[in-house]
């Protein structure tokens, strides 16, 4: 019973949970408000993702009790975050550094490259001069 009383004391109360909820609501409002401003697109993306990360941290720390428990459970989340970064980062790096035609047709990596004048990959015959670029697929 003494152990229970001890762990009970460590847990957050309803008042703190409501405060976390209010903070999450405010941040949701901020996300929408920032989105409607006319800051640059990149800045708004960074703001939206930054706010989402703060919200996720609030949920993980307080609603999911990482703040009070810690230890191995924090390690599990940290490890999975590391794999999230590796998976997204390395895959994006791959697509960003490819030979343009290794990416899907009409993607941004081929913008500004004239379709017919570009040397095709080795082993393929060049397209005849003046071949119109096919209409974009739906």
Instruction: Give the residues lining the site for other proteins (CB under 8 A).
Output: 1, 3-4, 8, 11-14, 17-18, 20-21, 24-25, 28, 31-32, 35, 44-45, 48-49, 51-52, 55-56, 59-60, 62-65, 69, 72-73, 76-77, 79-80, 83-84, 87-88, 91-92, 95-96, 103-109, 136-138
Q: What is the DSSP letter of 113?
A: S
CB of 4 to other proteins, least distance (A): 5
**Measured from the CB atom, is 41 or 122 closer to other proteins?**
41
Are residues 121 and 101 in contact, defined by beta-carbon separation less than 8 angstroms? yes
State how far the alpha carbon of 113 is from the alpha carbons of 63, 137, 138, in Å.
50, 18, 21
CB of 8 to other proteins, least distance (A): 7
Contacts (Cβ under 8 Å, ≥6 apart) of 5: none
């Amino acid at each position: 019973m003494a152990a229970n009383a001890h762990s009970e004391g460590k847990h957050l109360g309803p008042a703190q949970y409501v405060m976390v909820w209010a903070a999450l609501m405010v941040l949701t409002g901020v996300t929408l408000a920032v989105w409607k401003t006319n800051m640059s697109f990149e800045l708004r993306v960074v703001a939206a993702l930054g706010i989402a990360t703060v919200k996720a941290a609030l949920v993980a720390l307080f609603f999911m009790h990482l703040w009070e428990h810690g230890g191995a459970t924090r390690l599990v989340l940290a490890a999975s975050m590391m794999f999230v970064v590796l998976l997204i980062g390395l895959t994006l790096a791959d697509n960003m550094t490819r030979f343009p035609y290794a990416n899907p047709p009409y993607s941004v990596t081929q913008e500004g490259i004239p379709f017919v004048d570009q040397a095709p990959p080795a082993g393929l015959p060049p397209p005849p001069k003046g071949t119109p670029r096919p209409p974009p697929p739906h």
